[in-house]
Structure 1
Amino acid sequence: MLTTAPRLGPALARLLLVVAALLGTLLATAGPASAHAALTGSDPQDGAVIATAPKEVNLTFSEQVAMSDDSLRVLDPAGKRVDTGEIRDLCSNSTVRYGVALLPGLPDGTYTVAWQTVSADSHPISGAFTFSVGAPSKTAVSLPDTAVGGGLVGALYGIARYLAYAGFVVLVGGGAFVLACWPGGAAVRPVQKLVVRGWLTLTAATLALLLLRHPYTRTGRLADVFDLGGLRAVLETKTGAALSSRLLLLGAAALFVAVLFGAYARRREEADHRDLTFGLALGGTVVAAGVAGTWALAEHASTGLQPGIAMPVDILHLLAVAVWLGGLATLLVALHRAPAALGRAAVERYSTLAFGAVVVLAATGIYQSWRQVGTWSALTGTRYGQLLLVKAGLVAVLLGIGWISRRWVRRLGEPAPAGDGTGAAAGSDAEATGEEPTDVVEADEAAEAAEVDAERAEQLARQRAAVATARRKKERDADPERSGLRRSVLTEASVAVVLLAVTTVLTSTEPARTEEEAGPARTAAGAPAVPNRPVDVRLPFDTGGANGKGTVQLTLDPGRTGANALHIYVVRPDGSALDVPEVKVAFTLTAKGIGPLPVVPDRIQTGHWSASGVQLPMPGEWLMRVTVRTSDIDQTTIEKNVKIG
């Protein structure tokens, strides 16, 4: 007899498709990780044109960063490195500043500053800007198309982060569900498989993160996962220490799982049961808190505002998420694979445990939101705030579905005893403990006795699978209360999958408070030092003589610090060109005591004067004085303040 797996109903299939689509969208649009630190200033500034080559280049960041000798590079127009390669730590008080010395005797031209580092919360950041000495020039420097932390390596790193969270949730939540809600579940094979797979997933994801860390933060090349030198460098960082510590703690977690599904599952004496439960609960809590601490010590909680409070709060937050969602996953497996063995008392205990976890989750989440967002405007005006709103909405949906599940729990009856003679209970118990049903054993013995050929043995195996599948389906359909609870819990678990994806993206996104605080400074550092648009000025004049009235129209292009082109048009009141003997211009930056800087333009044609290479060394409020002479004795000087930068 040929059998197939039971088909999902149309509504359930559509639900799972929507969940998969949402999960894929979240992971696909996550992009390169935005980081906690941001470049807030540079000297020289981006786009600046300076008269002489500087002795060094300095960068200022909003938060502490990890710098190496290759983190800051200065390249000449031909792409040749012109810095000494020795990063100097110029940090003082709350200012995070690093510099690199330049080689002497640099010629005029446009220089490119490329920087790449890792912020204190483990996320890579990079960028580039240019400045010019003397005058801008063409440059042959080509920068990578993919930002650090992006590309294939970034996508794989993001997937590994998600799997690490998922494995942690299942491992911790499954163990807590068995210890606190359903001690009998320690002997149920599907529950054992779920928790063990959680441990395997977390371990494999942690190893992947450790191997991917070097290409993720430095090179962007997937082949560098096998670079032992890069791995050694990663182990010396805060993130590398956290990941290696997590692996050590997972060794202790393996011992916890072995005892839980070994000695604890085979317990006989009540006194031994109490002592073992206490020992497992205490040890499991310590290990789970330690694993959660590896995230808190290396990511957002370890930097910024109140890290001493934020890290313990973050650990509690992660544990509450694991107890709630991991217990939900375990309950779902039990309802699908061993429903008759799961009693109402176990479900009610989980309901109480989940309520406590949600209370802790809400309290710690409110603190984290205040710490990372800060203002109402940041909640809606930043990517972090918007993701936080999505997460809060999903939690609200989960609570609503949980309220529906609670109504099904009240209708549950206790499972039938294993020895009452009903086939459903007996079959479920046999399946839960891994023992085969009597009819299947007899069929196997008959097959062995008759020494049937391989085809007959395969047919018997298919029949055995069909019998087991039919038994499970009959058992589930015979209990409408458990079927209703199972559908409700499945919906909760589907939403939880998306919630976990949002949380993963959220932990790799720049906090809203930092984005708002660093925004103005970052704009000043990342944009040209002056507006990249011409400055147009119209100044009426009257020298008092014949043909002495008119208007001077001046255009300063590109209207920024450094070299500019100056065009002057002198027109009559009717708009026609006015031929004058002389026009002179001078610029003064009164606030800095610079100037006057005289400009003597050349006559191009009637009414048109021009000057190239007009140097304005600094941004600010410049006083522009224009002198117009219309005859040998008639002239006037007019003034206008213009903003440069």
Structure 2
Amino acid sequence: MQTIAPRLWRLLLVLVAASAAFLGGAAPASAHAALTGSDPKQGAVVDKAPAQVKLTFSEKVAMSDGSVRVLDPAGKRADTNRTTDLGANTYGVKLRKSLPDGTFTVAYQVVSADSHPIAGAFTFSIGAPSDTKAVLPAQEAGGGLVGVLYDIARYLSYAGFILVVGGGAFVLGCWPRGAGVRPVQRLVTYGWVTLTGSTLALLMLRAPYTGSGKLADALDMGKLGDVLNTKTGAALVSRLLLLAAAALFIAVLFGAYDKREDPKEKKDLTFGLAIGGTVVAIGIAATWAMAEHASTGIQAGIAMPVDVLHLLAVAAWLGGLAALVVALYRTSSVEAVAVRRFSRVAFASVVVLAATGLYQSWRQVGSWSALTGTSYGQLLLVKIGLVVVLVGVASISRRWTGRIASGAGEAPAETAAVIVEQRAEKTSANAGKASANAEKTSANAEKKAANKPAGVRKPVTVPAPSGGADDTERSAQLARQRAAMATAREKRIRDADPHRSGLRRSVLTEAGIAVVLLAVTTALTTTEPGRTEEEAARATSAAAAAQRSGPLALKVPFDTGGQDGKGTVRIELDPGRTGSNDLHVYVKRPNGSAFDVPEVKVSFTLKAKDLGPLPVAPDHIATGHWTASGVQIPMAGNWKIAVTVRTSDIDQVTVNKNTQIG
């Protein structure tokens, strides 16, 4: 039984490491808003340069000047660096005048309404497609080292909140005597330090997390000022202010409250701490609700208070569980009545979690297909499974609690407390008796020496008083040995109770599952909700269908290698979707004049479905112009169009182009 404490720490370290691996292996924060449309559309070929590029998202986003960059074929900026909110979740950036023909790259990096960064890029062409030298940054928004540190700080902030709120509630509502227990005091205090430190880290990392991805930008005071003007920055600052009030609550709970002896005064102080602590806890929980998932999407006015209730229920359950683990393993005097009270609190918390979680699941997932077909839905299923296991283990803890409550487990703890108290009194009495004896011996020796005649007096050696340096050191050593023996005897008595040992094991198992559950919950906050993902997919599909409702135009250069063997071939497919299409092929020389080559052939291949090549032999109808009617595209997909151009009896070449059709 002496190895229980090391085993406890080893198990907790393993669980924390597993959770860290889970978080570390997760992908960077997914976009919680999605690009659903653009003008010009992705891959489109327009005849002339548009005045501006428009981007439409699935929800409102935070965008500043420079959030959208348009790069010309040479990789130079083609926009004016000014973005405009056009309404209906659509934003625009104006383009410069006199732009060249070719392929342009649009790169964007914005922040969704629920505080997560979004980045992406697409291309469109003016006149005809071309090669491009545009280079996009390799750093993904919310990824890299900054993303890992930000996710760790997010996890620690949840953990700190749970320990502060749940631990304080456990002491105040279930075990008031725990306010004077040092291990419980440390648990709640460490929770406050963790929450405060992680909140500061989130505030400093916010700018590089949503921007450049460079860790050095965390110390840029200018960018920190910009963060303070955002919704997330305001929420983090509000959390720090509320944590100052939480520090006062902790100081009173473990100071004045613990020292109160008068029952009426203690009752009044309990009421005041309960009201103040509840207000502070609600305020801290609201800093998450006002800045993340609950603040966006449908029914935000209902979702935010529901999210606050959900967070408070999690803290009351898991934070109280952590305090109970500490009480059971680090003390021997936790009363059965405190365990019974927490059991009722945990049951009420589970009921609240089930109700609020059901609503949140419906709101964030929206459909059965999203529950199994999206990352958010799959993580939610994992979370539900962990909660079910946690509730099952909690039911075992309730049974152990019932056995302790029957009286079988009370004696050892009470006996240990009595033994320790008696031993302390005995040690104090012995120390006082030894000191009195030493003083008496010294006085008698002096008296005897004074009564002898002066001529016959001999030097009298008086024993050194017991209060000397050596005896003081020996007394202190003896006291430490006695205290250690008392502690060991107390631990043996405590561990001899099978009911309390069983409760400790089951509660420790609950705590381990809770650590992993917290990791999954944190991952959920950085994953795109299933409802949003499906809506974005539908909007993107509709945009793609609309894009392909017009003629498809492709321009490809060729070189057969012979004399007069260079040129370009332009392919037009009308209406450019599944079913029957009209095909037009135009061949031109490098100077732009029509090029009447001996032969042109076209084929279509859908490699993903192992379909094709489907050959087409267009008819020559004019100089440099071939056409074919009724070209069948049997299904939508990324088709490879192969064009064979023969410029002489022996010189020919086949050029390929991939494009989405249908």
Using the size of structure 2 for normalisation, the TM-score is 0.77
Q: Which amino acid aligns with 2:56?
A: T
CA 1:490–1:7 in structure 2 vs 1: closer, same or farther (change >3 Å)?
same
128-137 or 195-204: bigger deviation: 128-137
Q: Secondary structure at the match of 1:496?
A: helix
Asked whether the equivalents of residues 181 and 347 of structure 1 are also in contact (C-alpha less than 8 Å), the reply is yes
CA deviation string 1:97-140 (max 9, x = no partner):
00111110011222211110100000011111122222333322
Asked whether the equivalents of residues 554 and 571 of structure 2 are also in contact (C-alpha less than 8 Å), the reply is no
**Counterpart residue number, 2:259:** 266
Q: Which amino acid aligns with 1:333?
A: V
**Counterpart residue number, 1:84:** 80
Q: Which amino acid aligns with 1:165?
A: Y
**Counterpart residue number, 1:478:** 496
**Counterpart residue number, 1:350:** 342
Q: Which amino acid aligns with 2:242?
A: L
Does residue 1:281 correspond to 2:274, yes or no? yes
The match for 2:212 among 199, 209, 219 is 219
Q: Which amino acid aligns with 1:353?
A: V
**Counterpart residue number, 1:511:** 529
Does residue 1:295 correspond to 2:288, yes or no? yes
**Counterpart residue number, 1:153:** 146
Does residue 1:28 correspond to 2:24, yes or no? yes
Q: How many angstroms apart in 1 are the aligned matches of 2:627 and 2:470?
A: 118
Q: How many angstroms apart in 1 are the aligned matches of 2:304 and 2:129?
A: 48
Q: Secondary structure at the match of 1:402?
A: helix
Q: Which amino acid aligns with 1:217?
A: T
Q: How many angstroms apart in 2 are the aligned matches of 1:389 and 1:297?
A: 25
CA deviation string 1:450-482 (max 9, x = no partner):
6479x9999989968964763453243222211
Cα deviation for residue 274 of structure 1 reads 1.7
**Counterpart residue number, 1:389:** 381
Q: How many angstroms apart in 2 are the aligned matches of 1:484 and 1:638?
A: 81
CA 1:641–1:427 in structure 2 vs 1: closer, same or farther (change >3 Å)?
same
Cα deviation for residue 19 of structure 1 reads 2.6
The match for 1:19 among 10, 15, 22 is 15
**Counterpart residue number, 1:374:** 366
The match for 1:228 among 204, 221, 228 is 221
**Counterpart residue number, 2:326:** 333
Give ranges in structure 2 of 5+ residues lacking alignment. 439-465, 560-569, 588-594, 604-615, 637-660
Cα deviation for residue 561 of structure 1 reads 3.5
Number of corresponding residues: 567
CA deviation string 1:381-434 (max 9, x = no partner):
11111111111111111111111111111121364599x8x5555549999xxx
Asked whether the equivalents of residues 33 and 59 of structure 2 are also in contact (C-alpha less than 8 Å), the reply is yes
Q: How does 1:600-615 map to 2 (within 5 A)?
A: 604-605=597-598, 608=600
**Counterpart residue number, 1:122:** 115
CA 1:171–1:246 in structure 2 vs 1: closer, same or farther (change >3 Å)?
same
Q: How many angstroms apart in 1 are the aligned matches of 2:422 and 2:42?
A: 71
CA deviation string 1:579-620 (max 9, x = no partner):
xxxxx99865599xxx99965555544x54689xxxxxxxxx
Q: How many angstroms apart in 2 are the aligned matches of 1:428 and 1:486?
A: 24
Cα deviation for residue 334 of structure 1 reads 0.4
Q: How does 1:399-414 map to 2 (within 5 A)?
A: 399-412=391-404, 413=407
Q: Which amino acid aligns with 1:48?
A: A
Cα deviation for residue 160 of structure 1 reads 0.5
Q: How does 1:167-178 map to 2 (within 5 A)?
A: 167-178=160-171
Q: Percent identity?
A: 61
Cα deviation for residue 196 of structure 1 reads 1.0
Q: How many angstroms apart in 2 are the aligned matches of 1:636 and 1:135?
A: 20
Q: Secondary structure at the match of 1:35?
A: coil
The match for 1:46 among 23, 30, 42 is 42
CA deviation string 1:555-581 (max 9, x = no partner):
xxxx953425899xxxxxxxxxxxxxx
Q: Secondary structure at the match of 2:257?
A: coil
Q: Secondary structure at the match of 1:106?
A: coil
Cα deviation for residue 47 of structure 1 reads 2.0
CA 1:96–1:7 in structure 2 vs 1: closer, same or farther (change >3 Å)?
same
Q: How does 1:88-99 map to 2 (within 5 A)?
A: 88-91=84-87, 95-99=88-92
Give ranges in structure 1 of 5+ residues lacking alignment. 532-558, 568-583, 612-623, 630-634
Asked whether the equivalents of residues 566 and 610 of structure 1 are also in contact (C-alpha less than 8 Å), the reply is no
Q: Which amino acid aligns with 2:324?
A: L
Asked whether the equivalents of residues 115 and 232 of structure 2 are also in contact (C-alpha less than 8 Å), the reply is yes
Asked whether the equivalents of residues 63 and 120 of structure 1 are also in contact (C-alpha less than 8 Å), the reply is yes
CA 1:80–1:358 in structure 2 vs 1: closer, same or farther (change >3 Å)?
same
Q: How many angstroms apart in 2 are the aligned matches of 1:464 and 1:143?
A: 71
**Counterpart residue number, 2:656:** none
CA 1:469–1:528 in structure 2 vs 1: closer, same or farther (change >3 Å)?
farther
Tell which structure's C-alpha radius of gyration is larger: 2
Q: Which amino acid aligns with 1:315?
A: V
**RCO (CA 8 Å, sep 6+): is it higher in 1 or 2?**
1
CA 1:139–1:639 in structure 2 vs 1: closer, same or farther (change >3 Å)?
closer
Asked whether the equivalents of residues 285 and 308 of structure 2 are also in contact (C-alpha less than 8 Å), the reply is yes
CA 1:415–1:103 in structure 2 vs 1: closer, same or farther (change >3 Å)?
same
Asked whether the equivalents of residues 181 and 349 of structure 1 are also in contact (C-alpha less than 8 Å), the reply is yes
Q: How many angstroms apart in 1 are the aligned matches of 2:427 and 2:95?
A: 80
319-328 or 253-262: bigger deviation: 253-262
The match for 1:165 among 151, 158, 174 is 158
Q: How many angstroms apart in 2 are the aligned matches of 1:122 and 1:9?
A: 41
The match for 2:101 among 77, 83, 108 is 108
Q: Secondary structure at the match of 2:211?
A: helix
Asked whether the equivalents of residues 530 and 561 of structure 1 are also in contact (C-alpha less than 8 Å), the reply is no
Does residue 1:68 correspond to 2:64, yes or no? yes
Cα deviation for residue 46 of structure 1 reads 1.9
Q: How many angstroms apart in 1 are the aligned matches of 2:332 and 2:193?
A: 25
Q: How many angstroms apart in 1 are the aligned matches of 2:3 and 2:219?
A: 43
Q: Which amino acid aligns with 1:306?
A: Q
Q: Secondary structure at the match of 1:88?
A: strand
**Counterpart residue number, 2:233:** 240
After superposition, the CA RMSD in angstroms is 4.0
Cα deviation for residue 636 of structure 1 reads 12
Q: How many angstroms apart in 1 are the aligned matches of 2:527 and 2:557?
A: 43
**Counterpart residue number, 2:538:** 520
Q: How many angstroms apart in 2 are the aligned matches of 1:59 and 1:464?
A: 76
CA deviation string 1:516-535 (max 9, x = no partner):
1111323566999669xxxx
**Counterpart residue number, 1:487:** 505
Q: Secondary structure at the match of 1:160?
A: helix
Q: How many angstroms apart in 2 are the aligned matches of 1:429 and 1:328?
A: 32
Does residue 1:498 correspond to 2:488, yes or no? no
Q: Secondary structure at the match of 2:256?
A: coil
Using the size of structure 1 for normalisation, the TM-score is 0.79
Cα deviation for residue 24 of structure 1 reads 2.7
**Counterpart residue number, 1:540:** none
Q: Which amino acid aligns with 1:60?
A: T
